[in-house]
Structure 1
Amino acid sequence: MTVYLVVWRIVLKIGYSENAGQCCSGWSRLVFCMALTVHYLGAKKMDIKWLEDFIALSEHGSFTKAAESRFVTQPAFSRRVRSLENWLGGCLVDRNAFPTKLTELGVEMLVPMREILNNLYEIRARFQVDSNQEHALVMSTQHSLSVSFIPQWYETLMLATGEKTLKVNASDLHDCMESFLAERSDLLLCYSALNLLHELDRKDVIGIQVGVEQLIPVCADSTIYGDHIEDIQEINLIGFTAEAFFGRVIQQECLSKIMNLVKFNLIYETALTESIKAMVVKGAGMAWLPSRLVKRELDNKELKHIKHFPSVDLKIMLYRHFEPRKSEILQLWKKLGAD
């Protein structure tokens, strides 16, 4: 065990009262721990998501279930927990136990890690209020929807919300959901498929379908792939990462159905739909993309729909909190006919 962990344990014993488990000097202890980290670990970077992953693991008691709750693959989740352990210099999880359980050190670190996260969230919330965010409607959404759906839907939003500024935070689905459930955004606009959004099935969240979408297979020149799937032996694939929402949907609903018929060569991989679209337009290979995103290219015949490959129907969902902080949210819901 590193000197850093020994000192941190001493700090923990000083910082918490035995009877209530409350931090006696939370801010000073937090700063002290961070300072020790910089000194003993050479200022190595630590990702806040690692702390969130560890807490999720403690709550679910399983790497698989925790990974699902964090919207990442199990191998990627395990690597992130291992990265946290490497950063700390000690083992937090007993990997020989079944079911999974925390080590003595892991149990000991759980409470201060929760407190560190809560303090950081509180600081961020204060900054958001001070930065005039209370005077805007904040929407979390996936990158592709910010490009392909919101511009066409903007008028509907503005008619319902008046002069309120719309602040759109585009990110991956995991970060969007995390921001929304932490009430750092007023609205969540996202795709829905395969029951992947079970974390939104809760009493304090209300959702409504506001559109439909299809993930369709496209390429710049479909003639090279033949007229029937039986004619295709090998194809270059421009794909989404396995952790991305589209990546999981395509793997489950498309690739799994034709992998035994066609050999796919993954030549390019990213989580960004616009990047994948650019590569497909360039003629590098084929990809599954939202139909709205490639409508213009299909109309102009820059891209072609490979119709003998499977497509996926998606819902476009809008979510709000059961008790929204801003009256404009209820006005929007009334305009959508949801209440």
Structure 2
Amino acid sequence: MQLDWIDDILAVIDTGSLARAADQRLLTQPAFTRRVRGIETRLGVNLFDRSRKPVTILPGVMAMEPELRELSARLRRLEHDLKISVESGGRGVAFACQHAITATISPWIVKLLTSAQDQPVRVRSGNRDACLMQLLSGDADFAVAYDWTGGGNLALPDAFGTRALGTDQLVPVAAPSLMAALEQTEIPAITYPSDVFLGRVASHAIHPRLPDGTVLLPKAETALTLAACEYALDGIGVAWLPLSLVRPHLEAARLLRVPGLPAEELSVVMIRLAGRSSRQEETVWRLLGDAPDCPGLS
């Protein structure tokens, strides 16, 4: 399916006739009629009802209008991206970002890079381990993720190079309606799976520092910080979330920090494979590393 074919079909849908569609497509009516017949021949199906005057689109084709418009937009974006990629001599730069970072920090990265160089920036989202796998597979040029100075087996392997972008905090927050219930020793909590990065940070740095006698009662478990934030807003339980993610909710009093429960500092780092990089990757590495602190980080 060619872009011109889709635009010809949409022109008939938009104008209601072959004659007006021909004017819109800057063709004579005979030339446009030959062209749409050619489309039907190539596809092997009839698209128009010629038993009626004026000729109209068949109902089955009309029902596919949303898909045709979406496909037209996607093909135009592809043309644009290919043009920029060829003109810039590359495919742009690809980032794999931890879920919360995609929502909070990646907009700053994209704005900074697109302002400094006319190349597309592709952002993919995943948990920390998935981001590192995208680096190893070549699907991403850089990852941006949380790191924990408490280290241990959570430290990044030597195969990766890192550059700090700032620090964040993993803070306990809850909906105002839940605060009274948190005065008990048993606290409803939204937890992370033990096999994901923030779950391991919680196990090593949060749980051992809970006040004596405090017990967390898991009410929901998710690896996705954005989902945990929504659960906290709904009053399901206390969630330990990045301060950069919940700051707008704290400022609007939709969430409150829970006093007496521990928080933990996290580093935000840009990561690349050690030992090899292109000129473009070096430029991005230097540009982000030397930039002023990202808003929301300290």
Decide: shared fold, TM above 0.5: yes
The aligned counterpart of 2:290 is 337
Other-structure match for 1:267: 219
Q: Which residue of 1 aligns with 2:239?
A: 287
> 1:206, CA displacement in angstroms?
2.5
1:206 to 161, 172, 176: 161
Query: CA shift at 1:224, angstroms?
Result: 0.9
Amino acid at match of 2:230: A
Larger-Rg structure: 2
Q: Deviations over 1:74-132 (max 9, x none)?
A: xxxxxxxxxxxxxxxxxxxxxxxxxxxxxxxxxxxxxxxxxxxxxxxxxxxxxxxxxx8
CA 259–307 in structure 1, closer or farther in 2 if over 3 Å, else same: closer
Q: Could you tell me which amino acid in structure 2 is paired with residue 135 of structure 1?
A: R
- Cα separation, partners in 2 of 1:304 and 1:144, compared to 1, 3 Å: same
Distance apart, 1:136 and its partner CA: 2.5
1:225 Cα deviation after fit? 4.5
Count of residues in Structure 1 that have an aligned counterpart in Structure 2? 200
Q: Could you list the structure 1 runs, at least 4 aligned residues long, displaced by more than 6 angstroms after superposition.
A: none
Does 2:252 correspond to 1:300? yes
Q: What letter is aligned with 2:290?
A: G
Report the equivalent of 2:276.
Answer: 323
1:143 aligns with 99
Give 3-state SS (helix, strand or coil) of 1:206's partner. Answer: strand
Partner of 1:17 in structure 2? none
Q: Indicate whether 1:246 and 2:198 are aligned.
A: yes
- Which residues of 2 match residues 143-222 of structure 1 at below 5 A? 143-160=99-116, 162-193=117-148, 194-195=150-151, 196-202=153-159, 205-221=160-176
* TM-score, normalised by the number of residues in structure 2: 0.62
Which digits, 9 at most, give the CA deviation of each residue in 1:8-51, with x for residues without a partner? Answer: xxxxxxxxxxxxxxxxxxxxxxxxxxxxxxxxxxxxxxxxxxxx
Shift of 1:260: 4.4
Give the Cα separation in 1 of the matches to 2:258 and 2:223: 22
How far apart, in 2, do the equivalents of 1:259 and 1:239 lie? 17
C-alpha distance in structure 2 between counterparts of 1:159 and 1:329, whole Å? 16
Question: Match of 1:186, as an amino acid?
Answer: D
CA distance in 2, matches of 1:145, 1:233: 32
> 1:133-162 CA distances to partner (integer Å, 9 max, x unpaired)?
9613111111110001111333223244x1
Instruction: Provide structure 2 residue ranges, at least 5 long, that are not aligned to the other structure.
Output: 1-84, 292-298
Query: 1:256 & 1:197 partners in 2: Cα distance?
Result: 17
Q: CA deviation at 1:320?
A: 2.3
Give the direction of change, closer, same or farther, for the CA distance of 1:308–1:225 in structure 2 (3 Å limit): farther
Of residues 263, 273, 277, the one that matches 2:229 is 277
1:82-161 map, 5 Å: 135-160=91-116
Give the drift of 1:165: 1.1
Measured in 2, the distance between the counterparts of 1:301 and 1:146 equals 23
Gaps of 5+ in 1: 1-131
- Give me the TM-score of the superposition, normalised by structure 1: 0.55
Alignment of 1:58-73 (within 5 A): none
The 2-side partners of 1:312 and 1:146 are apart by: 20
Judging changes above 3 Å, is the alpha-carbon distance between structure 1 residues 329 and 200 closer, same or farther for their aligned structure 2 residues? Answer: same
- Cα shift at 1:257: 1.9
Structure with greater contact order relative to length (CA < 8 Å, sep ≥ 6): 2
Change (3 A) 1:217 1:293: same
Cα distance in structure 2, aligned partners of 1:232 and 1:153 = 42
